[in-house]
């Protein structure tokens, strides 16, 4: 019995050693996978931030291009002493229209009023007038 117990003890010791080595190796692999995932998350976050920044720059560039186009379109009007409606912001247009309403005869009013919510209608009316002209 002593030999069997000794063999079983050695087998159990060897098996325990193998299991311990496998657990240590698995833990090292787990730590490596964790480090890799952390690196990937940081990389993706940086790329997402970079992508958002590039998209914002593209939007700003398109807006700048549109504003430059509007200014180039305004040059012929400025030479003639007129101001194109594109260059008048909605608040300024609202103030101009309010001044116009003070000069209207009794019983007359502007087609869309002077409310800031409906001010966009005047821009549409100007575009229609230009096309019809």
Percentage of residues of the chain with pLDDT beyond 70: 87
Is 111:126 a contact under the CB 8 Å cutoff? no
1-14 pLDDT, tens digit each:
456 566 677 778 87
Is 85:126 a contact under the CB 8 Å cutoff? yes
Region 54-79: mean pLDDT is 85
82-91 pLDDT, tens digit each:
777 777 778 8
Going by C-beta distance under 8 Å and a sequence separation of 6 or more, which residues neighbour residue 93? Answer: 85, 119, 122, 123
Q: Is the pLDDT of residue 131 over 60?
A: no
19-60 pLDDT, tens digit each:
888 888 888 888 998 888 888 888 888 888 888 888 899 999
The rounded distance, in Å, linking the Cα atoms of 50 and 36 is 21
Q: What is the DSSP letter of 35?
A: H
Q: In the prediction, which pLDDT does 57 show?
A: 92
Alpha helices, DSSP H, located in the chain: 2-79, 90-103, 120-132
CA atoms within 13 A on the CB side of 89: 3
**How far are the Cα atoms of 9, 26, 100, 117 from residue 17, in angstroms, in the given order?**
12, 14, 95, 79
């Amino acid at each position: 019995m002593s030999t069997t117990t000794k063999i079983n003890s050695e087998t159990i010791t060897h098996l325990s050693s193998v299991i311990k080595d496998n657990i240590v190796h698995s833990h090292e692999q787990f730590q490596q996978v964790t480090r890799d995932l952390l690196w990937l998350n940081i990389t993706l976050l940086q790329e997402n931030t970079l992508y958002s920044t590039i998209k914002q720059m593209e939007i700003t560039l398109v807006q700048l291009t549109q504003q430059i186009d509007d200014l180039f379109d305004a040059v012929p009007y400025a030479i003639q002493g007129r101001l194109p409606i594109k260059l008048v912001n909605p608040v300024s247009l609202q103030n101009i229209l309010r001044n116009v309403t003070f000069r209207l005869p009794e019983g007359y009013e502007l087609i869309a009023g002077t409310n800031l919510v409906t001010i966009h209608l005047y821009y549409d009316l100007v575009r229609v007038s230009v096309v019809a002209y």
